[in-house]
């Protein structure tokens, strides 16, 4: 395994390898909470391929999604910027073009760039510097003439079937086994495309390949065999903090609620489907890394795995994402390959903005000054900032800070504060009464937000912000200010 020191000396970095720069493989899932992996201590959930990546590389156990919904998280991944800097403070549209875009920077540095799976950009065929993309955009159609590559393929393979035949909505908390042949599942299709790319790649350039699975995001619809493995499993049960009683009533009688107690049986059913989706995704991800191994490229490729955010799956009577709590904001983050010391567990707080600088450093490409992120393999920071604009309801609007040991949350709607001691209370069941720690973290938040102006800090004190501010002043003017309402 190459050392971190070697990672930064590009000319000597790849002696004996087939190319002058490493290949870069970005493996991504959607809505995968960090504690739903064997390597994170969840013995009930089978993730052997992710566990193998962790054994052979670095796992970051304090990794977060700063703005834990799909589009702002993906803006951070694309740009290497913090939410305030790339401009998306909540769930809106990824801008048409940013000053820094990872695929474009890598393309200009000599990489052949390909994206497969879910991008969640607008317009949906926007390449942001990729040479090519093959898209699975779930059910999103944001222009009359758009059809994703997955759905076009599905129509040619099964013209008399519907890709939505399982009948679960994109944000439902219900679950059932996939009703169609497994080969038609979008998780299979995404891996098939990635495997074919790796098996047939003959270009002289190193590649940057992004493989972005749309699961385990709902619908929770794993194939029957992955459903069956969890029907009798001892899965973790949902937890509810002492502070969460107000979330217990359902906000709706629909299946796509954002808060509500649906009962132990239905919560378990959701977790069976979610677990099956995680294991199915892990299995298909393993096919991709195996294809890399068969080409002899495994050890000369930097592999990074992450998710855009987590999934509450009923914890604290909450569903979906967009919250500062661990199940929503904490994500899996693993790096394997050149520069990633084997079998390392990192305690440094890292975030999605750090992925692009990590990939660029590995490729010997200068990190643009506009990037806020750091190379994760050498990152040093005391804490990371989190935030989300109004989502689902005016009361769900917050900013937060965490170092992985403590978490401070400021609820913008009414100024309510929460402090959690994550070492002694990792499930956030009790609000800490440590006055000294509260004062410390409140001061850090005040200093963090003060440069944004008096709407955020006035007279040296945090002030409530009940009004929505979806985009910061840094949001690129070329982008539409409308929101993408198809999915939150």
β-bridge partners, 406: 421
Q: Are 148 and 137 in contact (CB under 8 A)?
A: yes
- Tokens, residue 159: 């013209």
- The reply to whether 193 belongs to the active site is no
Bridge-based pairing of strands 457-458 and 301-307 is unpaired
Half-sphere exposure of 256 (CA within 13 A, CB side): 10
Q: At what angle do helices 70-79 and 355-362 cross, to 10 degrees?
A: 30
What is the rounded CA–CA span in Å between residue 387 and residue 401?
A: 9
- Tokens, residue 1: 């395994």
CA dihedral sign, ordered 173, 179, 182, 188: negative
- Which one is catalytic: 32, 62, 86, 120? 120
| Of the candidates 96, 139, 80, 119, the residue with the CA atom closest to the CA atom of residue 481 | 96
DSSP structure string for 284-300: HHHHHHHHHHHTT-GGG
Q: Tell me whether residue 199 is exposed, middle or buried, using C-beta atoms within 10 angstroms of its C-beta: 0 to 12, 13 to 18, 19 or more.
A: exposed
- Which one is catalytic: 70, 193, 371, 391? 70
Between the alpha carbon of residue 418 and those of residues 62, 241, 398, 442, the distances in Å are 19, 12, 11, 10
Q: How far from the centroid of its chain's Cα atoms is residue 463's Cα?
A: 30
First CA to last CA across the chain, in angstroms?
Answer: 41
- The reply to whether 316 belongs to the active site is no
Cα angle, residue 11 at apex, residues 7 and 13 outer, rounded to 5°: 35
Between the alpha carbon of residue 470 and those of residues 56, 368, 387, the distances in Å are 40, 26, 11
DSSP 340: B
For residue 336, give the 3-state DSSP assignment.
strand
Cβ-Cβ contacts under 8 Å for 246 (sequence gap 6 or more): none
What is the rounded CA–CA span in Å between residue 273 and residue 269?
A: 6
Q: Look at phi and psi of residue 134 and say left if phi exceeds 0, alpha if psi is from -120 to 50, else beta.
A: beta
What is the rounded CA–CA span in Å between residue 471 and residue 222?
A: 36
Maximum CA extent, the chain:
65
Enumerate the active-site residues: 70, 120
């Amino acid at each position: 395994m190459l050392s971190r020191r070697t990672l930064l000396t590009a000319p000597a970095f790849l002696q004996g390898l087939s190319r002058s720069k490493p290949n870069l493989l970005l493996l991504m899932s959607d809505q995968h909470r960090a504690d739903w992996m064997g390597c994170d201590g969840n013995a009930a959930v089978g993730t052997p391929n992710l566990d193998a990546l962790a054994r052979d590389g670095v796992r970051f156990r304090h990794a977060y999604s700063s703005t834990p919904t799909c589009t702002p998280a993906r803006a951070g991944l694309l740009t290497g910027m913090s939410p305030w800097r790339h401009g998306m403070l909540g769930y809106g549209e990824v801008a048409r073009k940013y000053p820094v875009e990872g695929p474009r920077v890598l393309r200009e540095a000599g990489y052949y760039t390909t994206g497969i799976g879910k991008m969640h950009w607008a317009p949906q065929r926007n390449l942001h510097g990729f040479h090519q993309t093959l898209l699975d955009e779930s059910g999103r159609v944001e222009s009359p003439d758009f059809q994703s590559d997955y759905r076009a393929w599905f129509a040619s393979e099964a013209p008399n079937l519907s890709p939505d035949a399982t009948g679960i909505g994109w944000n439902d908390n219900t679950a059932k086994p996939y009703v169609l042949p497994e080969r038609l599942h979008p998780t299979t299709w995404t891996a098939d495309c990635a495997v074919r790319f790796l098996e047939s790649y003959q270009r002289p350039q190193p590649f940057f390949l992004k493989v972005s699975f749309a699961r385990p995001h709902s619908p929770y619809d794993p194939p029957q065999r992955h459903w069956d493995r969890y029907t009798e499993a001892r899965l973790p049960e949902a937890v509810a903090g002492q502070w969460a009683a107000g979330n217990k009533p359902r906000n709706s009688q629909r299946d796509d609620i954002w808060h509500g107690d649906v009962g132990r049986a239905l919560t378990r059913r959701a977790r069976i489907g979610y677990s099956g989706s995680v294991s199915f995704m892990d299995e298909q991800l393993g096919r991709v890394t195996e294809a890399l191994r068969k080409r002899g490229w495994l050890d000369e490729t930097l592999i990074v795995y992450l998710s855009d955010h987590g999934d509450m799956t009923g914890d604290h009577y909450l569903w979906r994402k967009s919250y500062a709590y661990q199940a929503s904001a904490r994500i899996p983050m693993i790096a394997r390959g050149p520069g990633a010391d084997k079998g390392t567990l990192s305690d440094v707080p890292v975030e999605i903005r750090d992925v692009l600088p990590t990939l660029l450093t590995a490729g010997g490409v200068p990190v643009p000054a506009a990037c806020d992120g750091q190379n994760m393999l050498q990152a040093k920071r005391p804490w990371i900032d989190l935030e989300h604009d109004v989502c689902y309801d005016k009361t769900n609007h917050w900013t937060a800070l965490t170092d992985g040991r403590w978490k401070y949350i400021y609820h913008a709607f009414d100024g309510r504060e929460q402090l959690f001691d994550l070492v002694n209370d990792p499930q956030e069941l009790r609000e800490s009464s440590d006055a000294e720690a509260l004062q410390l973290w409140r001061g850090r938040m005040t200093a963090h937000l003060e440069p944004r102006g008096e709407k955020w800090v006035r007279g040296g004190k945090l002030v409530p912000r009940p009004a929505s501010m979806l985009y910061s002043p840094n949001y690129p003017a070329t982008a539409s200010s409308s929101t993408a309402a198809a999915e939150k």
